[in-house]
Chains A and B, each alone.
Chain A
């Protein structure tokens, strides 16, 4: 039912799309999406192998948050608090983070084909995770090494890009260096897969590369929450400056915005969010690419609205997809497969409907 509402909203705004993309739409999109997100979260708690009434869910959540005793059976308590809660929170955080980072990057690099892994964050994180699994580190160690190498890959991209561009750090050299670093990372991942024991390590690496939220633990939420919130700050604070950057670096400078500083802060923020997401959920593709497009169709290219709307839409999108993962089959399809299966046709649909949204 939430999916229906989701479809209705864009259609309504779209029909009345203003000629001037800078004008705000007539619909309070952020409010609608926030309500929709809360509704999706509520539904996600209720659906699954067993459907729970709202009373049981509220009782379990209150019991854990306030320490009140509850009368809910242990198996239901485990399902709601230890299975569903971490997945729902992680889906919201990861979906929101990837989509917000994608929206910021697409504005920053003035390119609609850009996703948050442009500068190598996902590739680096993938190498870190594969390496950690290969060396039999614990799950926390794998996550930490994914996060660290995700950051390191972007640092390499940025440094090399600046050096190759002879200090001018042009956007193009940065993007091209990102592509080089990303393919280098995927070669390294393939190498670890090649040397990994196919009966033992390889399935784990594959699992991680395809992404999934079923192994997110309650304790694992904090290492996800903190970098995502910290990374979101520069994106939200600087998002109006992203609009100014759209005119080009020189124009931005003449308008009193230092493009280098804005770029650096946005890259740091987006990288933090992406690396944390990837290290918690594995490689979940398409969210960071498709969702910002949908957001711009709703509210236009103004980054002031496109970034938060992307975050909300991304959270809803990933939550709905993960609910499908959880409920449709008795065995789970890796999340990254489903986001691609849903995301790719949706992207084509967006392309067919409204080129106007970007150009």
Chain B
């Protein structure tokens, strides 16, 4: 008799699920289409996957699942509209200074997960995300216009900025044109000054992402692109971003310059403290670049200058001045940083703040 019960129970369970799933055959969201939003005007943008995404003409609530992209939204004037984000203040403290409204935003994403329920309840007009097709498929089903973005190089960085601006409207588009022009100018200027350098005057540069484990950035990355533009060569003969390498390889590459990303700082140490430790380290202290004080700290602002973000525009000049002070004597990075933040991030920096950023330290 137990077995009959088993069968009945399973049959019931099966039937219930079957009915539920059969109900899904109808187009999702077919029932109560609320009139509130559907009557408003919309526009269509094409995202990086080639998908045509229809977004409301007026965007008042934004969800952003791509850490570096939150700063793009702030630049395009909609930073205070971010209501759901992937950031927490600890990961991008400067961005929270620049865009204090982020403190009101809910953190519903992590690098790899999305809290779809909180996202749905935040009712965003648009979701910006890097290319995670799985999450995008779900959020699209939830009725959230999902714009997938991404870039690997400067031309695509500009496209990403323009696409975001197309979503956000005419004022944002103007700002995007201004930023893209600034990036083009910077690229042209920096490349122009270093173009005639012969190979033997291009220092080899090791960009260290992490010291322990030892991880560096190789060719085929935006890091390689700015090193080259600034008149250097990438010392790391590996392909791609964030590649683990051995100390032996580093010794063999024998870089002329070592650039430490803020992610390479040891625990709670500042950049300066990390450099001190490096000079005391048995391996690193033997490396000529470290021994002869050619190891430097990469600045970090609202987002890491050295990685995939809009402040890469500042990185280009900084790298040029760091590798070739004689060619970039007229460049004042303090002034450049302050004018960039004023013009593009709507947050004038004090000189002390800019100095802190250049030392890759968190806001005081």
Chain A interface SS verdict (over half): helix
Q: Which positions 162-183 of chain A face chain B at CB distance < 8 Å?
A: none
Question: A313 CA to B132 CA in the complex, in Å?
Answer: 33
B23 contact set on A, CB distance < 8 A: 61, 64-65
- What are the residues of chain A within 8 A of B241 when measuring CB–CB? 197-199
Contacts A64-B23, A75-B121, A326-B117 given; does A215 touch B33 at CB 8 Å = no
A331–B124 Cα distance when bound, in Å, is 17
Pick the contact of B6 from A30, A81, A216 — CB < 8 Å?
A30
The verdict on A187 contacting chain B, using a C-beta distance below 8 Å, is: no
A330 at interface (Cβ–Cβ under 8 A)?
yes
User: How many whole Å from B152's CB to the nearest CB in chain A?
Assistant: 8
Could you tell me which residues of chain B, from 14 to 32, have a CB within 8 Å of some CB in chain A? 14, 17-24, 26, 28-32
Query: In the complex, which residue of chain B has the Cβ closest to the Cβ of A222?
Result: B21
Residues in A neighbouring B6, C-beta threshold 8 A: 30, 236, 304-305, 308
Contact A31-B9, Cβ < 8 Å, known A93-B17, A207-B134: yes
Contacts of B354 in A (CB 8 A): none
The verdict on A286 contacting chain B, using a C-beta distance below 8 Å, is no
Q: How far is the CB of A223 from chain B (nearest CB, A)?
A: 10
Is B260 among interface residues, defined by CB-CB distance under 8 A?
no
Whether B32 pairs with A63 at a CB distance below 8 angstroms is yes
Q: List the one stretch of A112-120, A135-143, A253-261 in contact with chain B.
A: A135-143
Q: Across the interface, do B121 and A49 meet the contact criterion of CB distance under 8 Å?
A: yes
Enumerate chain A residues within 8 angstroms of B338, measured Cβ to Cβ. Answer: none
A138/B133 contact (C-beta < 8 A), A34-B12, A225-B21 known: yes
Question: Which A residues are CB-close (under 8 A) to B20?
Answer: 65, 85, 89, 221
Query: Of A24, A138, A207, A232, which is within 8 A of B137 by CB?
Result: A138
Residues of the B chain whose Cβ atoms lie less than 8 Å from the Cβ of A359: none
Is there an interface contact between A330 and B24, defined as CB atoms closer than 8 Å? no
With A34-B13, A85-B20, A142-B133 as known contacts, state yes or no: A75 contacts B123, CB within 8 Å: yes
Complex Cα spacing A216 to B106, Å: 22
Using CB atoms, name the residue of chain B closest to A228. B17
Quick one: given A200-B130, A203-B132, A305-B2, are A74 and B33 in contact (CB under 8 Å)? Answer: yes
- Bound-state CA distance A236–B135 (Å) is 35
Q: How far is the CA of A51 from the CA of B185 in the complex (A)?
A: 54
Task: Flag if B117 contacts A215 (CB, 8 Å).
Answer: no
> Given the interface contacts A198-B241, A204-B134, does A221 sit within 8 Å of B118 by beta carbon?
no
Q: In the bound complex, what is the Cα–Cα distance between A334 and B113 (angstroms)?
A: 7
A14 within 8 A of B: no
Q: Does A219 contact B (CB under 8 A)?
A: yes
Map CB proximity to A onto B335-350 as digits: 1 under 8 Å, 0 otherwise: 0000000000000000
On whether A142 and B9 interact (CB within 8 A), knowing A65-B20, A199-B241, the answer reads no
A49 CA to B18 CA in the complex, in Å?
27
Is A49's CB under 8 angstroms from B118's CB? yes
Is B242 a contact of A331 with CB atoms below 8 Å? no
Residues in A with CB closer than 8 Å to B90 are none
Give A232 to B11 CA distance when docked, in angstroms: 12
Tell whether, in the assembled complex, residue A82 and residue B120 are in contact, meaning their CB atoms are under 8 Å apart: yes
Most interface-central of B5, B14, B32, B109 (chain A CB within 10 A): B32
> Nearest chain B CB to A313's CB is how many angstroms away?
12
Nearest-Cβ distance from residue B42 to partner chain A, whole angstroms = 16
Q: Interface with A: B138-146, B176-184, B271-279, which one? A: B138-146
Known contacts A64-B24, A81-B29, A236-B6; 4 further A-B pairs (Cβ under 8 A)? A69-B31, A218-B24, A232-B10, A331-B113
* 11 A–B pairs (Cβ distance < 8 Å), ordered by A: A64-B26, A74-B143, A75-B120, A92-B17, A199-B130, A199-B308, A212-B113, A215-B116, A219-B24, A222-B24, A332-B115
